[in-house]
Amino acid sequence: MIFDEQFDVVVIGGGHAGCEAASAAARLGATTALLTLNLDLIGQMSCNPAIGGIGKGHLVREIDALGGIMGRVIDRTGIQFRLLNRSRGPAVQAPRAQADRALYRVEMRRTLEATPNLSLRQGLVTELIVTNDRICGVELQDTRRIAARTVVVATGTFLNGRIHTGRNSYGGGRAGEPPSTELAATLKRLGFPVGRLKTGTPPRLDRRTIDWDAFDPQPPDEQPVPFSFSTDEILQKQLNCYIGYTNETLHETIRKNLHESPLYSGAIKGIGPRYCPSIEDKIVKFPTKDRHQLFIEPEGHSTNEVYLNGFSTSLPAQLQQELVSLIRGFEEAQIIRPGYAIEYDFVDPRELTPFLETTRISGLFLAGQINGTTGYEEAACQGLLAGINAALSALGRAPFRLDRRESYIGVLVDDLIRNGVDEPYRMFTSRSEYRLALRHDNADERLETYGRDLGLVGDEDWNRFNQRRRRLAFAKSLLETRLTRSDSRYESARMLVGQDLSDSITLRQLALRPHADAESIMRLLPDAERSQITIGDLQTALADGLYSGYLIAQEATLRRLNQHDTLKIPPQFSYSGLASLSREMIERLERVRPGSFGQARQIPGMTPAALSNLLVHLVA
């Protein structure tokens, strides 16, 4: 077979999954090619120009700790940083940032172009070349063939993508970009179970036509919290976002025109995410709500485009213009790009190993939206894992996986390969039983060593991490400082919390009292010591202490409840022999094929009696 070029790893797709995969594979020492339809759109954000949030922000910090790139890119291009859930405990806080969409692309491409071993190639992949159930390369539309030991498919919403606006629909992977149809056909031909999902995006408006005074500003944080552990400060100028609302007139108009919506007319078959509903969905499902919130998000300092978050829609373009003008503040607003819905193919992620390799074709890895997830962050972490493993496999090294107990990435992969998806999968902190342990600020503690061992974390970052560790240990010891009545700071402490204190109290105990936040505790430290740690170090040290009791108790409870979880279920185990299972349950078990008792336990509908019965047969 003749190949025009050859690489260790080929990554198909230049989106968030593809970029992480290509960057990681190359830095692990594998010769890597990133193949994309359009080099100018590498790192393009398809809808909301934002990174992070609860759950998603956690993923980005984990990606960064492992040596991935998303965190760095957003830190250099974010224009409104906010730490969410500031008033709550650190385990549920998470960073979020609006991005300058154009800058993000540019920065992402610049990062990739500066990566050794990585080659960018423009082209449309039409065929996967497979011999004896093993991938050996890809073929492009322009007939070039590229050989690869391993391939990562990260095609996002492009597989058989179909765009809907009103009654119109046409093939497209994204507005203005063609779909990928031959590759979709190849995957089907190879026997992969393929389903259909949908997602949507709202219209973009021209900022010059908006009456900004009609909206409430949402300012950025005074002290932005960066995503990457390597970022010391955010340098870009920040800006406000704004909050607006729909109204009943708007709702009524939508109701009258529901037949124009491809979802409600039945034209769209794919399932959309419940947590990213179109405006039509919102009005139909929550008819008593008289107004829905909208976020008005400028897309950058040097563009007029504004993203109307919360108004995802596939109603006809003309109608969108009419609807938008019904919103207070948008009376004169003009739509630059209309919103639309997009349907696309995805592959059942139960086809994958915990390393994101398909069980069907060795050397073939799938990452991102193709696995049924939604969100840039969800895609990126899969890209990172797949890229790592594609490189490790090509280089003859042992594969790498993450456990759900130590990372949200682990939770995501485990959920996908165990349960499959009924709707686009998005990360929520409630998906993890170990939420208290998986904080955004301890991602480095949990994962940086893995990144270093793999070879993705360079010397500079590793040194920085070790310094932070030392500072953390120091901060922890500082928290044990006891203040006694004779101490000069005792009075300040007492006034801070507004309560009487016992004769001696440690700073850690003090932190449990009202008003005693990290900043205040910082001020109680002697100058010589305060200068040795950062406020972030102190916050992490406090958080560790806050949760440690809960984590110990939880561990004991979970161990008691889940004691048999690690019991393995043999691959050919027959469920039809078990007496107390309904036929439906047996079918479900045979489809899911849980690998362990713990996985079986989590399958919806499993009764305690059925589990007991399964247990008996497992131990016999």
C-beta closer to another protein: residue 428 or 462: 428
Instruction: Say how far apart CA 446 and CA 425 lie, in whole Å.
Output: 24
One DSSP character per residue, 244-282 reads: EE--HHHHHHHHHTGGGSHHHHT---SBPPTTS--HHHH
Instruction: Say how far apart CA 504 and CA 293 lie, in whole Å.
Output: 50
Give the other-Cβ count within 10 Å of 318's Cβ.
Answer: 13
Compute, in degrees rounded to 10, the torsion defined by CA atoms 342, 345, 348, 353: -100
Told to check if 436 binds another protein by CB under 8 A, we report: yes
C-beta closer to another protein: residue 232 or 555: 555
Distances from the Cα of 62 to the Cα of 17, 406, 620, angstroms? 15, 10, 41
Instruction: Say how far apart CA 456 and CA 388 lie, in whole Å.
Output: 9
Told to check if 285 binds another protein by CB under 8 A, we report: yes
Instruction: Say how far apart CA 45 and CA 54 lie, in whole Å.
Output: 19
The residues, any chain, with a CB within 8 Å of residue 106's CB and separated by 6 or more, are none
Instruction: Say how far apart CA 595 and CA 447 lie, in whole Å.
Output: 25
Among 134, 274, 482, 523, binds another protein (CB under 8 A): 274
Told to check if 574 binds another protein by CB under 8 A, we report: no
The stretch among 156-164, 306-314, 318-326, 371-379 that binds another protein (CB under 8 A) is 306-314
Among 95, 277, 339, 368, binds another protein (CB under 8 A): 277
Distances from the Cα of 152 to the Cα of 120, 143, 555, angstroms? 14, 20, 37
C-beta closer to another protein: residue 239 or 551: 551
Written as six digits, the tokens of 578 are: 């078990």
The stretch among 62-70, 181-189, 396-404, 560-568 that binds another protein (CB under 8 A) is 560-568
Q: Which three-class secondary structure state does DSSP give residue 198?
A: strand
Instruction: Say how far apart CA 119 and CA 30 lie, in whole Å.
Output: 11
Told to check if 276 binds another protein by CB under 8 A, we report: yes
Strand partners for 137: 129, 147
Told to check if 85 binds another protein by CB under 8 A, we report: yes
The stretch among 67-75, 458-466, 490-498, 555-563 that binds another protein (CB under 8 A) is 555-563
Told to check if 264 binds another protein by CB under 8 A, we report: no
Instruction: Say how far apart CA 424 and CA 196 lie, in whole Å.
Output: 10
C-beta closer to another protein: residue 236 or 278: 278
Told to check if 255 binds another protein by CB under 8 A, we report: no
| Least distance between another protein and beta carbon 606 (Å) | 7
The stretch among 275-283, 317-325, 367-375, 457-465 that binds another protein (CB under 8 A) is 275-283
The stretch among 185-193, 460-468, 492-500, 552-560 that binds another protein (CB under 8 A) is 552-560
Query: Which of 228, 285, 194 shows the shortest CA–CA distance to 111?
Result: 228
**Residues between 393 and 432 that touch another protein (CB under 8 A):** 419, 422, 428-431
One DSSP character per residue, 140-162 reads: ETTS-EEEEEEEEE--TT-BT-E
C-beta closer to another protein: residue 253 or 613: 613
C-beta closer to another protein: residue 486 or 566: 566
Told to check if 56 binds another protein by CB under 8 A, we report: no
Told to check if 77 binds another protein by CB under 8 A, we report: no
Is 347:192 a contact under the CB 8 Å cutoff? yes
| Least distance between another protein and beta carbon 598 (Å) | 12
| Angle in degrees, 0-180, between the axes of helices 70-77 and 101-113, rounded to the nearest 10 | 130
Separate counts of helices (H) and strands (E) for the chain: 21, 22
Is 342:168 a contact under the CB 8 Å cutoff? no
For CA atoms 260, 261, 265, 267, give the dihedral sign: positive
Instruction: Say how far apart CA 456 and CA 468 lie, in whole Å.
Output: 18
| Least distance between another protein and beta carbon 420 (Å) | 11
C-beta closer to another protein: residue 115 or 442: 442
The stretch among 253-261, 278-286, 328-336, 397-405 that binds another protein (CB under 8 A) is 278-286
Told to check if 469 binds another protein by CB under 8 A, we report: no
Q: Give the end-to-end CA distance of the chain in Å, rounded to a whole number.
A: 52
Among 13, 15, 53, 368, binds another protein (CB under 8 A): 53
Told to check if 171 binds another protein by CB under 8 A, we report: no
Strand partners for 2: none
Told to check if 617 binds another protein by CB under 8 A, we report: yes
| Number of residues this chain uses to bind another protein (CB under 8 A) | 60
Told to check if 498 binds another protein by CB under 8 A, we report: no
The contact pattern for another protein, residues 92-111, with x = CB under 8 A and - = no contact, is x-------------------
Told to check if 607 binds another protein by CB under 8 A, we report: yes
C-beta closer to another protein: residue 176 or 605: 605
Amino acid, single-letter form, for residue 5? E
| Least distance between another protein and beta carbon 38 (Å) | 28
| Least distance between another protein and beta carbon 52 (Å) | 11
Among 84, 125, 205, 412, binds another protein (CB under 8 A): 84
| Least distance between another protein and beta carbon 602 (Å) | 6
Query: Which of 69, 42, 74, 16 shows the shortest CA–CA distance to 224?
Result: 74
Instruction: Say how far apart CA 196 and CA 206 lie, in whole Å.
Output: 33
Is 582:618 a contact under the CB 8 Å cutoff? no
DSSP-derived letter for residue 550 is H
Written as six digits, the tokens of 518 are: 């990290």
C-beta closer to another protein: residue 91 or 352: 91
Among 567, 586, 588, 593, binds another protein (CB under 8 A): 567
Is 398:389 a contact under the CB 8 Å cutoff? no
Among 188, 196, 469, 601, binds another protein (CB under 8 A): 601
Among 265, 449, 534, 602, binds another protein (CB under 8 A): 602
C-beta closer to another protein: residue 85 or 265: 85
| Least distance between another protein and beta carbon 100 (Å) | 19
Is 257:315 a contact under the CB 8 Å cutoff? yes
Among 312, 369, 371, 407, binds another protein (CB under 8 A): 312
Told to check if 67 binds another protein by CB under 8 A, we report: no
Contact residues toward another protein (CB under 8 A) are: 48, 53-55, 84-85, 88-89, 91-92, 274-277, 281-282, 285-286, 289, 292-293, 295, 309-310, 312, 419, 422, 428-431, 433, 435-436, 550, 554, 557, 560-561, 563, 567, 579-580, 601-610, 612-613, 615-617, 619-620
